[in-house]
Amino acid sequence: MIAICCDHAGLELKNEIKKHLEEKNYEVKDFGTYDANSCDYPDFAYATAKSVAAGECEKGILVCGTGVGMSMCANKVHGIRCALCGDCFSAQATRQHNNANMLALGARVTGAGLALKIVDTFLDTEFEGGRHQRRIDKMMDIENKENQ
């Protein structure tokens, strides 16, 4: 299952991504927002990130105006490795090398056509493991030390 959310700035793109994923037979859990009224992105990013961290959803997608705020919020949740991507190469590399489990997108900076390609790349790319796992382990050690 793929978790997805947005704030008011990302609503239209989130809905396009959700439709795209459902057409590709992904099960999608939508954490909101559901209308264009101004809202606070941390509320949605946190709930979505918690679902991924808890294993309720395999991966997550966050959409706000730039993707920056949502990614920063998600990365506060233990076990989340959220990458803000504006191109397919970054989406591929962050899955291969960083084993990112969440993707953030900026609706005001990334067009829908490119955003859908980034989403597909992110979801279709596997983690390579190997030397990259050692680096992930070190990253998680830092997170664990900071959360003590």
Contact 64, 106 (CB under 8 A): yes
20 is catalytic: no
97 is catalytic: yes
Active-site residue, from 8, 39, 88, 97: 97
What is the full DSSP assignment across 3-14? EEEE-GGGHHHH
What are the residues facing 82 on neighbouring strands?
102
Task: For the sheet with 102-106, list strands across it.
Answer: 28-30, 2-6, 59-64, 102-106, 82-84
Active-site residue, from 5, 6, 64, 82: 64
Residues designated catalytic: 64, 97
